[in-house]
Structure 1
Amino acid sequence: MSIPTQAAPTRAAVLLPWEHGGRNGPREAEARLAEAIGLTASIGLVIAHDEIVQIRAHRPATLFGEGQVRRIGESIAEAEIGVAVVDSTLSPVQQRNLERAWKCKVIDRTGLILDIFGERARTAEGVLQVELAHLAYQRSRLVRSWTHLERQRGGFGFLGGPGETQIEADRRLITDRIARLRRELDEVRRTRALHRAARNRVPYPVVALVGYTNAGKSTLFNALTGATVHAQDQLFATLDPTMRLIVLPSGRQAILSDTVGFISDLPTELVAAFRATLEEVAAADIILHVRDCAHPDSAAQRADVVSVLDGMARSGMIDEGWSSRCIEVMNKIDLLDPAARDLPGASAIAVSALSGENLDTLRATIDARLAGAMQVATYWLAPADGAGLAWLYRHGEVISRADGEDAIAIEVRLRPEDRARFERDHEAALHAPVP
């Protein structure tokens, strides 16, 4: 009996259109190409050709110049390449023309990232978000002149009116599906809002991890919480948000939230689709911006993350003063020479999530930042009020306690919302007993 052979992996070309000093900004071409290669390889494609293509101007029909299109096509044919990844945004016309010229599938940066997200999403929410982003992207691509999209069809039932073209029917079906997905995601947001309200009833401060993809957020999450969240040296290894309880040095508890990684030129479809996920950042008391300090493009990656957060602030997703809640964490110092580990920036904390170096300092910094936002109050509780006493120990940091015959005097540090809640429910505890 013959053993079936597996199909050979698809060979891919990665092409970076590079207009020096243009819209690509401060990012160096080599670092950008390396990132595109990593993204392409992460979905199982074999990189058979990669190239930085210098362009003077963006051609409306093909992006590249005529001679460049011909030369690249020859390289693609010689290397037997099945997919060409262009690390830029292609219009539907450019994509169609390049596919005709190169006789292979062509995808742009947005399509590549959407494919990765579609492969990695695990939760029902993540799947919904990715499908919504895919459909929004596909709807803009329905101008491609494939034969079956040019045919007209007669009207029957409610599948289309007389003379409706296939492209019109496809666009209508996609629009209907997008509307359904948005309704389902609205339900997800309401559910998440209920979960946040439940956490507020037994409130813990929230600490959210944000950062460029592959900065080591999930490894840091596991190191701080003892969890076993999937962490891999891979772009977009984490797509679905995860939350765990952590205990800080003072005994104070907090919720740590791991979120999806950011990336330069994040597709607008994904920014909108992942709004429900990013709401965890909006609700955070502290934002930990995790950076890969060993990456040669670390400064540009930081600028990309800040740009996304600023965009969220402008759209009202998070408050304008988000940076005041941010702690910068320089991760992966184990990859640096010992002499290079004294990193600049008074507010930055250099750690290694892998080796555990300086994680105690990070925990203490989080603890101190949360304590700085707390208020000190003194209450007098009846000795029989064990529930009130337990509540203060559970939600606050007890500074001092004096047990008397008539009352227990307790000085405690509380979050403002916890203080307001306790004083609303225990008005008698606000006044010292009359001797």
Structure 2
Amino acid sequence: MEINNVTWMACSDIWEIGHCLMLIKRLIAFSSKPFRQQSTLFRKKFSTEFTDNDAQYERIVHESGVCLRLPTGSAFRGGSTADRVSVGASQLEGQNVFVIHPKVRWGANSAPSNTTPELMLEEAVALIRTLPGFNVATSVLVGTDYNTKKKLIWGGGRLEALMQHKLKHSVTAIMVNVDMLTPIQQTELTAYFGVPVYDRYNIVLLIFKLYAKTREAHLQIALAEIPYIRHRLKFLDHDSDATPDALHVDQAVTSLSHGKADKYEILRLREHSLRKKLKAVMEAKQDELESRGEKGAHATTVVAVIGYTNAGKTTLVKKLTGAKHIFGEDRLFATLDTTVHSALLPSGCRVVFADTIGFISSLPVTLFASFQATLKHVVNADLLIHIQDLSHPNVNAQRDNVIETLHELGVRKDLIENMLTVGNKIDKLDGGEVCLDDVIEKHGDKDQLQLISCENGFGLDGLIEQIDQKVQSMTGARLRRLKLRPDSPALAYLYRHGFISPHSPPTPSDCEKFLIVDVLMNDDQFAKFRTHMPRKLKAKRVDS
């Protein structure tokens, strides 16, 4: 067997995954009636009496004998973080990780043509290094035939070689670089190697928990992992040899095992509670977004900046809006909470830029779908800006993954087709000395790819102009030049409705008897403007 791409780092602390919150403050003792009768009664009450009123909801929950509130400090591995402010790095115990990428050599499950197994392994290593205290002791490519569906993935010879490699490097945990291991695979691999075994889902979820800052993000993470927990619980019910700790749900099982309540009913109630809380957060977020934008004729355009994780989304939004309170970081998933920032384009068009969560390959789309509050800005945006890291060797695969994920999330086809594509970090290409025509030829059509560098500002003016043109085209707005008397009621109307841009205030005419005003209006807005004026107005279109 060939094992290559070995990297070495120092051994770290003992294993134990950081604890994150979930479930049950208490399980009130039930009466002599069987629990399932009470559960049925609860469902009837819940379906007929439930309202959006929290007091009503809590009363029904109390009567059913199930409490969904969590005690301070309750936790389980793979558990919810929805009821705490954040998960500190100090709570995440270190691991010395052995990263293994199964290289499928033949068939439909082999590496896509737009990437290589080496680059896929490199990304897995980067994911591990995103977690504080997690060191990559060694990383390898190991061949396998056709797929990764076998219980232990590899045959006896390769497994023995991996075991020897593990012992040589004092490994305390293993990451198998697949999207999600089956429960039986995780159980068998853990038993064979004698250390915790993680997949991409486990690691990404840990990163989300560690770096999430807002209640919105914590609610979405908690909601995302409930199906994972439920699936593992069902496996444990039917496999007497499986252990909760091998599946990273040991604390969940402990929390759910208190009292006589049915664990699946508790999870169902928990999921409903989370969805209710998340709905309230989403409504508040929508209200906030609407409050930032103009209403009516001069409505604000929402522009969502999307891309693969660590492509430069936050830094671009900061450059475009001048927002001083956001900071981009050079790590995976630096942004988990969507933020919105208002801006005024040179034409006078108002826009709101939404900085969104980064995408990543080889994850169940349901994980990102659970981030519905965060992704709401993407799905409901008026314009998408897809930013790519052109300095990354796997940029083509990253680009394809973003497009594929947008389709899987149900983003409108016209929104994807009208998307602006931006190539970032060109300052990092070949030491900054590059031929732009060569870059465009390699990465896309000249008319579709805007090259920029958020680091040195190259190309940002051209990008702003391109955004401005897109917004004007979408809204049907164009610049019109008006010649008005200083005492004209038209002037007051334009100021009152925000049509006069601070970037283009009225200027005196040559005769100094009139004011020349450039306004941005579509045909409907201009027609409405004219109906409010007592005299005929002449307007001249201004080429922008």
Q: TM class, shorter-chain normalised?
A: 0.7 to 0.9
Match of 1:72 among 150, 157, 162: 162
Partner SS, residue 499 of structure 2: helix
Calculate the TM-score normalised by the size of structure 1: 0.83
Could you give the per-residue CA deviations for residues 310-353 of structure 1, whole angstroms, max 9, x where no partner exists? 222xx3xx322113331111000001132343322222111110
Which has the higher mean CA deviation after the structures are superposed, 133-142 or 337-346? 337-346
Change (3 A) 1:101 1:33: same
Match of 2:283 among 178, 186, 190: 190
Compared CA separation, residues 177 and 423, structure 1 to 2 (3 A): farther
1:187-226 alignment to 2 at 5 Å? 187-198=280-291, 199-201=293-295, 203-226=299-322
Question: Match for 1:54 among 126, 134, 143?
Answer: 143
Q: CA deviation at 1:370?
A: 1.5
Question: Amino acid of the residue matched to residue 214 of structure 1?
Answer: N
2:470 aligned with 1:369, yes or no?
yes
1:115 to 206, 209, 212: 206
The offset of 1:411, in angstroms, is 6.9
CA contact (8 A) 1:294 1:333 kept: yes
Superimposed CA distance per residue, residues 334-389 of structure 1 (whole angstroms, 9 cap, x where no aligned partner)? 01132343322222111110111111111111112222233347999993466522
1:156-199: CA deviations, max 9, x gaps?
xx9436xxxxxxx4433323212211111121222223234433
Aligned pairs (5 A) from 1:20-419: 20=105, 22-23=108-109, 24-26=111-113, 27-44=115-132, 45-56=134-145, 57-88=147-178, 89-142=180-233, 143-144=235-236, 145-146=242-243, 159-160=259-260, 169-198=262-291, 199-201=293-295, 203-227=299-323, 228-312=325-409, 315=410, 318-337=411-430, 338-342=433-437, 343-344=439-440, 345-346=445-446, 347-373=448-474, 374-376=476-478, 383-384=488-489, 387-390=492-495, 391-394=497-500, 412-414=519-521, 419=524
Give the match for residue 12 of structure 1: 97
Which string of whole-angstrom CA distances, capped at 9 and with x for unpartnered residues, describes residues 177-235 of structure 1? Answer: 12211111121222223234433527322221100111111122222222342322211
* Residues 89-137 of structure 1: per-residue CA shift (max 9 Å, x gap): 2101100111111111111111111111111111110111111112222
- Match of 1:210, SS state, is strand
Q: Could you say which residue in structure 2 is the equivalent of 1:166?
A: none
Are the counterparts in 2 of residues 398 and 411 from structure 1 also a CA contact under 8 Å? yes
Distance 1:185 1:76, change over 3 A: same
Does the Cα contact within 8 Å between 1:329 and 1:350 map onto a contact in 2?
yes
Distance (whole Å) between structure 1 residues aligned to residue 494 and residue 435 of structure 2: 49
Aligned-partner SS, 2:413: coil
Say if 1:207 and 1:255, in contact at 8 Å, map to a contact too: yes
CA distance in 2: counterparts of 1:304 and 1:77, whole angstroms: 36
Partner of 1:164: none
Distance 2:263 2:96 in 1: 30
Task: Say how many residue pairs are matched.
Answer: 406
Residue 248 to residue 119, structure 1, CA distance change in 2 (3 Å): same
Q: Which is further off, 321-330 or 135-144?
A: 135-144
Task: Classify 1:380/1:124 alpha carbon distance in 2 versus 1 (closer, same or farther; 3 Å).
Answer: farther
**Aligned-partner Cα distance in 1 for 2:290–2:529:** 18
* 1:18-44 Cα shifts (integer Å, max 9, x gaps): 113533422211111000000011012
- Whichever residue aligns with residue 260 of structure 2, its letter is G
Deviations 1:239-298 (A, max 9, x none): 111111223333443211110001112323322211221111123222111001111111
CA distance in 1, matches of 2:534, 2:373: 40
Does the Cα contact within 8 Å between 1:59 and 1:65 map onto a contact in 2? no
Q: Indicate the SS of the match to 1:189.
A: helix
Long gaps (5+) in structure 2: 1-11, 15-93, 237-241, 251-257, 538-544
Q: Using a 3 Å threshold, how does the CA distance of structure 1 residues 306 and 386 change in structure 2: closer, same or farther?
A: same
Change beyond 3 A, Cα 1:7–1:30: closer
Shift of residue 396, structure 1, vs aligned partner: 11
Which deviates the most, 374-383 or 88-97? Answer: 374-383
What is the identity percentage for the equivalent residue pairs of Structure 1 and Structure 2? 28
Q: Partner amino acid for 2:102?
A: P
Q: Aligned residue for 2:541? A: none
Q: Is the 8 A contact 1:241 1:257 kept in 2?
A: yes
| Alpha carbons 1:379, 1:432 under 8 Å: kept | no
Say which is worse superposed, 217-226 or 244-253, in terms of deviation. Answer: 244-253
Return the structure number with greater strand share: 1
Q: 1:20 to 1:341 in 2, by over 3 A?
A: farther
| CA gap 1:378/1:331 in 2 versus in 1, 3 angstroms | closer
SS of 2:112's equivalent in the other structure is coil
Report which stretch shifted further, 124-133 or 58-67.
58-67
Shift of 1:64: 2.4
Q: Contact 2:382–2:415 (CA<8 Å) still a contact in 1?
A: no
> Which has the higher mean CA deviation after the structures are superposed, 32-41 or 364-373?
364-373
Aligned twin of 1:165? none
Match status 1:432 vs 2:520: no
C-alpha distance in 1 between matches for 2:208 and 2:387: 21
Distance 1:321 1:94, change over 3 A: same
Question: Which amino acid is 2:493 matched to?
Answer: G
Q: 1:341 is aligned with what amino acid?
A: L
Provide the rounded CA distance (Å) in 2 between the counterparts of 1:362 and 1:411. 23
Q: 2:153 and 2:195 mapped to 1: Cα distance?
A: 17
> What amino acid does structure 1 have at the position aligned with 2:95?
T
| Contact preservation (8 Å) 2:13, 2:96 | no
Q: TM-score, normalised by structure 2?
A: 0.67
Aligned in 2, Cα 1:363/1:411: closer, same or farther, shift over 3 Å? closer
